[in-house]
Structure 1
Amino acid sequence: MTTQTTTPDTTGAPTPGAPTSGLLGIPAPAARALATGGSLLTIAATFLAWTWTSAFPGDLTVYGYPGGLQVLVLIGGALTTLLALASYDIKGLRRLTPAGADAAVKLAALATFATAWYTVLAISVELGGVVNLEPGGYLVATTSLATLLGALALPFRRPEPDPIDPDSTGWEKFTHRLTHAWHTTKAAFASGTPRPVRELPSYAEILIIVGILALGLVVFTYGIGTSYDELFVGFLILAGLGFAALNKAGLIAQASQITARHQNITLFGAFIAAALFPFTQTDDQYATLGVYILIFATVALGLNIVVGLAGLLDLGYVAFLGVGAYAASLVSGSPSSPFHVHFPFWAAVIVGALASLVFGVLIGAPTLRLRGDYLAIVTLGFGEIFRITANNLDGTSGPDLTNGSNGISSIPNLDVLGLDFGAAHDIAGFTIGRFANYFFLMLLITAVVVLVFRRSGNSRIGRAWVAIREDETAALAMGINGFRVKLIAFAVGACLAGLAGTVQAHVTYTVTPEQYLFAGAIPPNSAFLLAAVVLGGMGTIAGPLIGAALLFLIPNKLQFLGDYQLFAFGVALILLMRFRPEGLIPNRRRQLEFHDEADAPAALGKTGA
């Protein structure tokens, strides 16, 4: 039985009622030492050879220089070491764990252990047994396991029970103890709130923002540029559990507070960081993924107006992307177009955006008086009607407009102000290829969409959208014209999707009906767009952008799983929704929806971007 005494908590301060040990019964000081020492030995093991042959990707045969998956284990070990040292309340490391260190150490140790053991098992399976391991492989398996055991033995913080009213009945006392037991268990796994720390000067917070954006660029560039499947799986394990560890430590919440105080600088810096991405690539191989991610993310941000702000469940939103793409392709000089005209890009953009806007009004006007599931069914039907109609406008089943299933092909590259987007260009000694050119163009359009979303969300109409989303009946009672407000949201969202569709048409060269399904293995489609908004964080700017990037990148990188690709992806989504239901970058309202009254102060302390 675990004894209850006064022992240091995760910050080093005495906490009455805290246990002397965690899950394994090891005393807290010994567990802390085991976690710290094990992580240091894990770091040392990454400088040894893990296998004798370079047949395993990454060449893990070198002594003194980590490579491939060893680098990921090294990063995980370093993170675990820092958090473990911070648990000793060492001066200078306190800011690393504003919400406490023990829970964060557990997750960091788990990230290191999972990455190390995945590598060891992959070597054994691919090369034919553990006999192919060198001493470094055995050592990292042992030390990462010891680190995890030490971390699991760290004590949980248990809050003191509220005093029981002596006048309470026996049943009330029982329910009080039951409620306290529930909150005690929940507190063991809940994210902590940053403890008060001395506020930094503005220049220091701006430097922190620069560091966060630089780290984000490095992580994204590394993830998108993983050259083999095993490395990407290891990256996913470390990134996912590492993010959870930083969140437990309170660093994510603290970073959100800092970026919220400097929103304009954060947005400007984020676009600068994104603009640097093509310069990190030596060819168009990964710039291709970059431009498709931007298209997907921009459309998801437009859908966020409809779903995140106005609360309208739209299951056919990808059709507006298709309308914009078809409209632009018909007037951009394609030989498959029956109009045989070639508009300049600015005119094609206007045509695509206006076409989607008109369709948004035409579809929204008769249907937006519906609510909830009925509206979702109607929008789902619109998405299918658009695809089937585009398939039938082939000159046989209907007028010759879209060339049927063959689509509009051979769409020429853009030529804006004499700049040929189909040709490579040299900028400051860097060669910028075709997809990098479209990446910069799409980044500019993304900036426009972000500006529209931000300005509209903070406007009077934006507040009306939120009121409709929260309680439409109450909003109508306060004099808001619900139908007009929802129609504006539908039209604006459709227009932004059409804007992205004009670029997609030129990037893909061909526009076909099969690109605009409700669901499929590869985005963009309506299901993935909705998932990007919900998982990223409804009602925020950064949420859908990050959600869309993850939902586009991960399926593309997991294609080696074959038939198990969607299964693994689905499991990842289930885990994310279980442990982060409010989204990766939630706003305050969404956080409060997923927290009870006891957790409300913690949720209010976190600010979404």
Structure 2
Amino acid sequence: MTTQTTESTGAPVNKDSATKGLVGLPENVGRALATIGGALAVVSTFLAWTWTSAFPGDLTVYGYPGGLQVLVLIGGALTTLFGLASYGVKGLRWLTPAGADGAIKLAATGTFATTWYTVIAISDELGGVVNLEPGGYIAAAVTLAAFLGAFSLPFERPEDEPVDEDESVGERIGRIWRHIVALLKSAVFTPSPAPARKLPAYAEILVIVAAMAVGLTVFTYGIGTEYDELFVGFLITVGFLFAALSKAGLVARVSAITGRHSTITMFGAFIAAALFPFTQSDDQYATIGVYILIFATVALGLNIVVGLAGLLDLGYVAFLGVGAYTAAMVSGSPSSPFDLHLPFWLSALLGAAVAMVFGVLIGAPTLRLRGDYLAIVTLGFGEIFRITVLNMDGTSGPDITNGSNGISSIPNLDILGFDFGLEHTILGFTIGRFANYFLLMLLITLIVVVVFKRSSDSRIGRAWIAIREDETAALAMGINGFRVKLIAFALGASLAGLAGAVQAHVTYTVTPEQYQFAHVVPPNSAFLLAAVVLGGMGTIAGPLVGAALLYLIPAKLQFLGDYQLFAFGVALVLLMRFRPEGLIPNRRRQLEFHEEAEAPAVLSKTGV
């Protein structure tokens, strides 16, 4: 028997058993079952799944998929495409540059999970499986068949660890658990690399446009889900299908294309995001959109401190509060102790400048610390800021911030006669207050992205990365570690202060409770750090995607009540277990978590 090591798990595998799947069906039967099952899942969505419209989405209509059926249709279609690509169908091989088998397994699993979740939800809410129509039974059966067929495809099985006769019960359980995890990871994530065919420049630009359109569609659909069951199904489908596209190598291929056309990608993403308010009929979801942008912008600023410079800052949300309080005090609020009403551009610059000053004042005496000590000090700064503004109420201290009441009645912005508090008609589309602020915050996000990109590509950015990787070695090479870290701290603080200036006008009121380390509603320091780590440290797209997910998911999971944070925490644990480098990782960081993977000839500076 010969053994080798999987590239994905690093565990030894039994090479002789690499021709069998988890399910004991022949490979050709399993492949056909997965492909045909995916196609039949698409057909089943055009049938009625229940007889009554009492279940949300009205799944009683024949010939017109609705609600959760649409998600099953997409999953089934993608499973079928991957299955056909595995047969070598011309024109589909481009979708699976890294192989189709792992992608088939993930897509079939996502389709199966969404379908069975829907069937169980119908039975639970309506009082039993008797409420299912034939379409529901067919969908459940064909997705189960596709799932079993997908896991009949071959993979490299991990070899059993040697058994120690003296091992304890706990050690035995640990050994069995490690083998199960290695078995599942090998079955799904074993790579099958294939050479990529380079496209003409115009075709690559079309790919970027298509990727932006898909991203806008997915985000708009997710943020606009009308009921709880649909959002849960959306999370299941998107999670598995994104993993399938990543496993197929399509995400990496698109990332490489966007890397070659970074300027076009950045402005394309900006235009796609700017179209979002025009897809909404009212301000209901534009409200969530503007808060996501505020959260994402602050997370991107924190990414300079944590992702590039490697400084663990647990009190970063305090800089957002400094900017918000500064802008609130000089924007004409009747609660402000200062009789000032500065124009927005000046109040925003003032908020950024004051936050930067605080960053220097806090960083100068603390940045000589490293690791956990620095984290504890920054956590203390965040609490000091909150307690200070809480006590400046005229009783415990000077009357500046109105204590727990905060600064309220902050007027709407008026820039060159454009009142952000009123509805406006643009190109025949009526956009409301939050849509106005969404477009403004999008412009500020673009500025922050440009600052991040230019900084990371500069000499100082390379110094940050050197400090992050090995501070001792960087100091030996002549880098002034303290100065470099202080610049990162000050720049990150100023970007947070800039976002805080907009937040103050969007929320009308700033209070100390908004700037705790761990607060129920983001942004807070814990969620900001999680957004950076979850999305991908050191990248541009990572914190933006991470912040969007971390804001959107809790907002949509409120129906879980007391179990909301539990479900959210379980999702984070699973994601960090199976993708510790983040959703959109920096290539260097990805290699750190997958050292057995072959290093590329050239590493990008900032990743995607």
CA contact (8 A) 2:534 2:546 kept: yes
Is 2:92 the partner of 1:93?
yes
Displacement of 1:600: 3.2
Aligned residue for 1:525?
524
- Measured in 1, the distance between the counterparts of 2:573 and 2:604 equals 26
CA contact (8 A) 1:256 1:606 kept: no
- Measured in 1, the distance between the counterparts of 2:255 and 2:411 equals 43
Amino acid at match of 2:595: D
Percent identity (aligned): 78
Aligned residue for 1:443?
442
Displacement of 1:341: 1.1
Q: Note the 1:228-239 alignment, pairs <5 A.
A: 228-239=227-238
Aligned residue for 1:129?
128
Displacement of 1:602: 10
Aligned residue for 2:417?
418
Which of 319-328 and 517-526 deviates more?
Answer: 517-526
Aligned residue for 2:429?
430
Aligned residue for 1:307?
306
Displacement of 1:192: 2.8
CA contact (8 A) 1:308 1:539 kept: yes
Could you tell me the TM-score, scaled by structure 2's length? 0.92
CA contact (8 A) 1:36 1:147 kept: yes
| Residue aligned with 2:117, SS | helix
CA contact (8 A) 2:353 2:494 kept: yes
After superposition, what is the alpha-carbon deviation per residue over 1:118-169, rounded to whole angstroms, capped at 9, x for unaligned?
000000000111111111111111111111011111111579xxxxxxxxxx
- Measured in 2, the distance between the counterparts of 1:421 and 1:55 equals 40
- Measured in 1, the distance between the counterparts of 2:112 and 2:183 equals 27
CA contact (8 A) 1:191 1:250 kept: no
CA contact (8 A) 1:110 1:148 kept: yes
CA contact (8 A) 2:539 2:606 kept: no
Q: Note the 1:214-293 alignment, pairs <5 A.
A: 214-293=213-292
Q: Note the 1:462-481 alignment, pairs <5 A.
A: 462-481=461-480
Displacement of 1:343: 0.6
| Residue aligned with 1:600, SS | coil
- Measured in 2, the distance between the counterparts of 1:185 and 1:150 equals 16
Aligned residue for 1:580?
579
After superposition, what is the alpha-carbon deviation per residue over 1:524-544, rounded to whole angstroms, capped at 9, x for unaligned?
000000000011111111100
Which of 228-237 and 579-588 deviates more?
Answer: 579-588
CA contact (8 A) 1:312 1:372 kept: yes
Displacement of 1:194: 4.5
Displacement of 1:22: 1.0
Displacement of 1:183: 9.6
CA contact (8 A) 1:22 1:153 kept: yes
Structure 1 stretches lacking a partner, 5+ long: 5-15, 160-181
Is 2:565 the partner of 1:566?
yes
The structure-2 alpha-carbon separation of the partners of 1:482 and 1:604, relative to structure 1 and needing over 3 Å to count, comes to closer
The structure-2 alpha-carbon separation of the partners of 1:462 and 1:429, relative to structure 1 and needing over 3 Å to count, comes to same
| Residue aligned with 1:431, SS | strand
Displacement of 1:198: 2.2
CA contact (8 A) 2:24 2:152 kept: yes
Aligned residue for 1:501?
500
Aligned residue for 1:353?
352
Is 2:76 the partner of 1:71?
no
- Measured in 2, the distance between the counterparts of 1:604 and 1:242 equals 27
- Measured in 2, the distance between the counterparts of 1:141 and 1:606 equals 46
Displacement of 1:564: 0.4
Aligned residue for 2:169?
none
Displacement of 1:593: 0.7
After superposition, what is the alpha-carbon deviation per residue over 1:82-131, rounded to whole angstroms, capped at 9, x for unaligned?
00111111111111111111111011000000000000000000011111
Aligned residue for 1:362?
361
RMSD: 2.1
The structure-2 alpha-carbon separation of the partners of 1:603 and 1:523, relative to structure 1 and needing over 3 Å to count, comes to farther
Displacement of 1:608: 2.9
CA contact (8 A) 1:116 1:144 kept: yes
After superposition, what is the alpha-carbon deviation per residue over 1:463-519, rounded to whole angstroms, capped at 9, x for unaligned?
111111111111111111111111110000000000000000000000000000101
Aligned residue for 2:172?
none
- Measured in 2, the distance between the counterparts of 1:472 and 1:528 equals 27
Could you tell me the TM-score, scaled by structure 1's length? 0.92
Aligned residue for 1:460?
459
CA contact (8 A) 1:100 1:249 kept: yes
Amino acid at match of 2:304: I
Aligned residue for 2:174?
none
Aligned residue for 1:294?
293
Aligned residue for 1:48?
47
CA contact (8 A) 2:290 2:438 kept: yes
- Measured in 1, the distance between the counterparts of 2:348 and 2:72 equals 47
Displacement of 1:17: 5.8
- Measured in 2, the distance between the counterparts of 1:76 and 1:597 equals 32
Aligned residue for 1:80?
79
The structure-2 alpha-carbon separation of the partners of 1:213 and 1:606, relative to structure 1 and needing over 3 Å to count, comes to farther
Aligned residue for 2:116?
117
CA contact (8 A) 1:257 1:607 kept: no
CA contact (8 A) 1:298 1:497 kept: yes
CA contact (8 A) 1:518 1:526 kept: yes
Count of residue pairs the alignment pairs up: 576
CA contact (8 A) 2:327 2:501 kept: yes
Displacement of 1:373: 0.3
Displacement of 1:350: 1.5
The structure-2 alpha-carbon separation of the partners of 1:218 and 1:532, relative to structure 1 and needing over 3 Å to count, comes to same
The structure-2 alpha-carbon separation of the partners of 1:290 and 1:376, relative to structure 1 and needing over 3 Å to count, comes to same
TM superposition outliers: structure 1 runs of 4+ over 2 Å: 16-21, 182-194, 597-608
Amino acid at match of 1:432: I
Which of 581-590 and 503-512 deviates more?
Answer: 581-590
CA contact (8 A) 1:257 1:606 kept: no
CA contact (8 A) 1:409 1:511 kept: yes
Aligned residue for 1:553?
552
- Measured in 1, the distance between the counterparts of 2:606 and 2:195 equals 16
Q: Note the 1:371-390 alignment, pairs <5 A.
A: 371-390=370-389
The structure-2 alpha-carbon separation of the partners of 1:606 and 1:541, relative to structure 1 and needing over 3 Å to count, comes to closer
The structure-2 alpha-carbon separation of the partners of 1:94 and 1:602, relative to structure 1 and needing over 3 Å to count, comes to farther
After superposition, what is the alpha-carbon deviation per residue over 1:415-436, rounded to whole angstroms, capped at 9, x for unaligned?
0000000000000110010001
| Residue aligned with 1:84, SS | helix
